[in-house]
Amino acid sequence: MTSLRRGLALSGWAAAAVVAFLPDALVLRAVVTTAFLLVCPGLAASRWARPGAARVRDRTAALERGVLTVTLSLSMAVLVVEPLFLTGTFTVTRALLALAAVTSALALLPKPGGRRSRAPRAVPGPEPGSGPDPDPDPDPRSAGTGRPEPPAPE
């Protein structure tokens, strides 16, 4: 298990502890909880949901992971607090503990269907005329195509 996964698994509990023991006005509390709420649940979820390792080094994959980190963090927070507010049972501690548990689970769980999935068939690329692609991707490591890519322009 990587240190990132261990850190993600612990992050929610650390945020909950900070909220429980630090007073409202403290900057440290605002910084820790903001960092957790904006990053950790989404990062754990996007790691869990990533379909495979094929695109790990692709710049687009990094962009996608960044997008999902923020949007999923916010989305998961919404899905955790909405039922609590709707049922009149919301407390900050309950919401944070629920989010911490989900984040831990996503960080520690194996990916769905990871080992059992069959090798998918290869798809050669988009259909005719699906777009010009004159500019090489700047990340030469991202190809995995078996063909040399043009050098990255700098």
Partner 1 sequence: MGKLQTLTGGRMASFTGAVARRPGTAAGDRRRSGRTTALQWATRLILPAALALWLLSLRHVDLAGMRDYGLLQVLPVLFWVALGLLTLGFCLALADRRTGGGWFAGYVLGLIAVIHATPTLLYPTLRYSWAWKHVAVVDAVIRHHGEVPHADKLAIYNQWPGFFDLNAFFLQATGLRSALGYATWTPPVFNAVLLAPLLLLHRTVTRDRRLIWGAAWVYYSCSWVGQDYFAPQAFAFLLFVTMIALVMGQLPASALYRTGETRTNRWPVGRFVVVMVIAAVIISSHPLTPFMLISALVALSLPRRNRRVVLPVLAGTVVLAVLWDATVARPYLSENLNDFLGSLLKPDTNVVSGLAALGAAAPGQVVVSWVDRGLSAAVFVLAAIAFLARPWVRRTGLPLLVVAPLPLLVANAYGGEMIFRAYLFALPAASLLIAALLLERSGRPRLQVLAACPLLLALLGGLMFGYYGKESANYFTEEEVAAGRFVAATAPPGSTVVSLTSAVPGLYLRYDENPQVQLDEQDIRDRRRLVNDPVKGLEGFVKRASPTQPAYIILSRAQAADLYQRGILPGGTVQRMESALSKTPDYIPVYRSKDAVVYRYQGAKG
Site residues for partner 1, 12-31, by CB under 8 A, read 15, 19, 22-26, 29-30
Residue 125 CA neighbour count, 13 Å, CB half: 8
Query: Rounded distance, CA 73 to CA 44, Å?
Result: 9
Q: How far is the CB of 6 from partner 1 (least distance, A)?
A: 20
Q: Is 130 in the site for partner 1 (CB under 8 A)?
A: yes
Q: Is 55 in the site for partner 1 (CB under 8 A)?
A: yes
Q: How far is the CB of 95 from partner 1 (least distance, A)?
A: 6
Near partner 1 by CB under 8 A: residue from 6, 57, 111, 141: 111
Near partner 1 by CB under 8 A: residue from 2, 21, 53, 121: 121
Number of neighbours of residue 65 by Cβ within 10 angstroms? 17
Interaxial angle between packed helices 3-21 and 27-49, expressed in degrees from 0 to 180 and rounded to the nearest 10: 150
Q: How far is CA 153 from CA 131, 139, 140, in A?
A: 21, 10, 10
Q: How far is the CB of 3 from partner 1 (least distance, A)?
A: 22
Query: Rounded distance, CA 15 to CA 30, Å?
Result: 10
Near partner 1 by CB under 8 A: residue from 1, 21, 78, 115: 78
